[in-house]
Amino acid sequence: MRFKPNVYYFKPRGIPLRELEEVILLPDELEALKLYEVDGLEQIEASKKMKISQPTFARLLGSANKKVAQAIIQGKAIRIEQ
């Protein structure tokens, strides 16, 4: 079962959303971030939970981390796709 967040947008404070570029975090990317960074699972264990290969998990995790880093460094909004 996939994690369902309560919030679907993060943005820099004080800047209207319409003025911001956004990065889109896909559901599988969010799930990979949660399992690895929050739940503390190793990649092999997390990939088994997601029923995907470890290399695919690593690509999802890398993509998610890059998007979050871009949003923080470049002041973009993060939209979590449902």
User: What CATH number belongs to 24-80?
Assistant: 1.10.10
Q: What is the pLDDT of residues 8-35, one digit of tens each?
A: 999 999 999 999 999 999 999 999 999 9
Q: What is the pTM of this model?
A: 0.89
Are 58 and 3 within 8 A, CB to CB? no
The CA distance from 63 to 82, in Å, is 17
- Domain assignments of the chain as residue spans, ordered by start: 24-80
The CA distance from 53 to 12, in Å, is 34
The CA distance from 68 to 76, in Å, is 9
Backbone torsions φ then ψ of 68, nearest 5 degrees: -65, -40
Task: Classify 70 as helix, strand or coil.
Answer: helix
